[in-house]
Amino acid sequence: MPATSSDAGELPTLTLTDLACRRGSRLLFRGVNLQVRARESTWLRGRNGRGKTSLLRLAAGLSVPESGRVCWGGVDVRRASGYAAVRVYIGHANALKEDLTVLESLQFLARLHGRAHDRASLRDALERVGMESRGDAAVRTLSQGQRRRAALARLALERRAALWILDEPYDALDIDGIDAVNRLLHEHLARGGSVLFTSHLPPGGGAPDMAEFDLDAFAPR
């Protein structure tokens, strides 16, 4: 089924309705209601173990809720036509292949997700996150911060409005890395994209305006 929007050409709204999530025998949260609209960024907050990553995976359509619905333009994300193509999910793990170079690993991910993967585009993306000098280095030689930058270079390949779902994008980054991510977020929102992300670190003064959603308020009593 095609996702719909009330504004022709506008990115559809991600809607979580009365959402509950269980991990094993433990109920992590329930009663979550949240909307992420075009040109909006939402910071998902909460204590460790509250279920932030689980909620992101539900929003991405990668797992099934205990109850409630996750919809894209009014259609369940698991049935919404084109949702996987317009949704960019970057988890806490960087999804880089240790034995490939940074450039090769980014190219693999770009091809897998149907994004530009020519050498010029990849080099430009690495430059945007301050990794241009490490393109030919093996992933296994990178520091944790460099690995995170390389993974986030996927965002610099985006050219159209999309939904970004990001798990701890600022993790292990220095000030320059945080600034690079914030620049990408500003550009993304300006072209009509939307963002749902988690972070234990404050996004910094250069971050775009964002709503905050506290998952602690939805812990079962």
Radius of gyration of the chain (CA): 17
User: Of the candidates 166, 179, 153, 172, which has an alpha carbon nearest to the alpha carbon of residue 96?
Assistant: 153
Sequence-distant (≥ 6) Cβ neighbours of residue 122 within 8 angstroms: 103, 106, 107, 110, 116, 135, 153, 157
The one-character DSSP state at 13 is P
Positions of the chain with pLDDT under 50: 1-8
Q: What is the pLDDT of residue 62?
A: 96
Contact 130, 174 (CB under 8 A): no
Domains of the chain by range and CATH?
Answer: 14-218 (3.40.50.300)
pLDDT given at position 9: 74
The reported pLDDT for the residue numbered 11 is 97
| Whole-number pLDDT of residue 74 | 96
Closest of 21, 80, 84, 12 to residue 49, by C-alpha:
21
pLDDT of residue 8: 45
pLDDT score recorded for residue 205: 86
Q: What are phi and psi of 19, to 5 degrees?
A: -80, 135
pLDDT tens-digit readout, 202-211? 888 899 999 9
CA–CA dist 205, 18 (Å, integer): 33
Q: Distance between CA atoms of 70 and 166, rounded to whole angstroms?
A: 17
- Where does residue 1 rank: exposed (0-12), middle (13-18), buried (19+ CB within 10 A)? exposed
pLDDT score of 68: 98
Closest among 68, 2, 10 to 39, alpha carbons compared? 10
Residue 142 corresponds to which amino acid? Answer: L
Q: What is the pTM of this model?
A: 0.94
Res 2: pLDDT = 44
Q: Token match 């430059």: residue?
A: 127
